[in-house]
Structure 1
C-alpha cells in the first residue's frame, strides 16, 4: 500500500517551472530518500507535500485522503515535517522546544503523557542529557537532533525530513540514519531529502531521483546505485567500488 501518492504535480514560481509531471508513490513503513542536484526541485516538492506551498496542479494523498482535506490535529496526526533550516530567537529549554510537537493536541496545557513522549523522543536520539539546556546555545547538529525529537514527540504516521544529516558529524550521521531505518520498521513512513548517495544507499529502502524538474528512475531499480545512472543524474562522472557486498560510489576526478 502507498502511504503517499502524488499525481500530476506541476509547480512554478512566476514563469519559472520548478516541477512538472510528477507522479510518485512512497510506500508505507519504508525509509525512502529523494536525491538530485541543488535546485532540482526537491525542497519545493517537500513543501508541497507538507502543505506549506499550495498546490497549483495535481493531487497529493496520504493513505488515500487528500492533503487538502487534512486540517489541524488530523494533519498533525498524519504528517511531521523537518524543514531545511530552522531557528529560534527565544531561549526556551530543550524540553519546551520538543514539547511544541504536542501543540496541535494539547495546546498550552501539555499532559503528563505529552511530557513522557517528549522524554522518550530525546532518549531515542540519545540526547536526553540536553533536556534542560537553553536551545539557543546548542550547536547546529544538536539543534537538528532536537527538531527531529520534536517530530517524534508529535508521533505522526509520516515523517518528511529535508536534509536530516545537515550539521551532523560522522558519528551522528550514521547514528541518525540507523535510527530512521529502525523507525521505518516500527510503523513510521519516512521520506528524506539527502545529498550523500552512499549514506542513502547504506540505510534507506527506496531511492527516487529528480532531474530537470521531473522524477527520473532507472528501468531496473537495482541500477539506481550504479555509477553510470548517477552520472546521468548529477552530470558528473562517477566511479564505484565494493567493500564486502556494499557498493560505494564517488565522483571521478576530472
Structure 2
C-alpha cells in the first residue's frame, strides 16, 4: 500500500489544488512550445497529459516540476512559487520520473532506489530508509534485481528501477513522464496500478501517456494538449471524444464503449486488393 502524504505535507500543499500553473508560456530555441497554459493538479487524483508528438507534454511536466523555467507565467505550490523553493525542499515535495534514465556509473539497483531517500538525509524520516527502499523495490517488481548493476538491466528493468526510486522518495506530488514506454503488458498494468494506488492514498499524480485507452482506464482527469495549448481538461468520458481526438491527432479515431470501458482506436484504410 502506498504511504499517504504526511499530515504536514497535506497542510502545506492544501486539499484541492496543491499545484497551480497559470499563464505558462515556454519558448525553446526561439520556437514557442507552450502558450498560456493554465492547469491545476489536485491531491487524491491521477491527472494524465495526452497529445500528439510535439504537443508540449514533457515540457509542461518539466515546468510543473520546477526543472523547466517558463518565460511567462507562474507555478505555485500552495501559493508559493516553485522557483523560490530550495532544491532540498522541492525534492521533499515532489518526485520526478524523467522520460530518459541515464546512469553511467555501475550502481546496484538497490543503491539507485536508495537515491530517492537523499532528500530526507539528516531528518527523522531517514530512520525509515531501509523499510521504504525495500517496499519500493517490491512494489516495482525489482526486488529480485537488487544486487544487479544498473547498466546491465534491460530498458524495462531500468524503467521499473527508476519508478522504485520515485516511490522511495515519498512525496505528496509525483510526476511521471511516459512511465510505461519501455514496459511489457504486465508491467504496464503494474505501473499504472501503482500510480492509481498513490492517488487513492491521497497523493497528486501527473503522468504523460501516449496510450489513450490506458489514459481512459486509469485517469481521474485527462488534459489534452495540442500545439502547446490546452484543448480540454476533464473526466476521460468528457474529454476523450472521437471528434476532439481526431482533430488533435490529425487522424480519424474511434472511441468505443466496451462494457463500460473506453477504447480509442485508429481508423485504418482497407488495403488495396492484390493484382
- TM-score, length-scaled by structure 1: 0.93
Q: Secondary structure at the match of 2:18?
A: strand
RMSD: 1.8
Q: Which residue of the partner structure matches residue 80 of structure 2?
A: 65
Q: Which of residues 188, 202, 223 is equivalent to 1:187?
A: 202
Q: Which residue of the partner structure matches residue 105 of structure 1?
A: 120
**2:246 maps to 1:201:** no
Q: Secondary structure at the match of 1:2?
A: coil
Q: Is the 8 A contact 1:31 1:190 kept in 2?
A: yes
Unaligned runs of 5+ in 2: 1-15, 270-275
Q: Secondary structure at the match of 1:180?
A: helix
Deviation string, structure 1 residues 218-243 (Cα, Å, up to 9, x no partner): 79973312212211221110113232
Q: How many residues align?
A: 252
| Residues 132/113 of structure 1: CA separation in 2 closer, same or farther (3 Å cut) | same
Q: Is the 8 A contact 1:223 1:229 kept in 2?
A: no
| Residues 82/130 of structure 1: CA separation in 2 closer, same or farther (3 Å cut) | same
Q: Is the 8 A contact 2:120 2:126 kept in 1?
A: no
**2:235 maps to 1:235:** no
Unaligned runs of 5+ in 1: none
| Structure 1 stretches of 4+ moved >4 Å | 218-221
Q: Which of residues 265, 270, 273 is equivalent to 1:250?
A: 265
Deviation string, structure 1 residues 140-168 (Cα, Å, up to 9, x no partner): 11110111110111111101111000100
Q: Which residue of the partner structure matches residue 83 of structure 1?
A: 98
Q: Which residue of the partner structure matches residue 159 of structure 2?
A: 144
Q: Which of residues 116, 119, 123 is equivalent to 2:131?
A: 116
Shift of 1:112: 5.0
Q: Which residue of the partner structure matches residue 28 of structure 1?
A: 43
**2:165 & 2:89 partners in 1: Cα distance?**
17
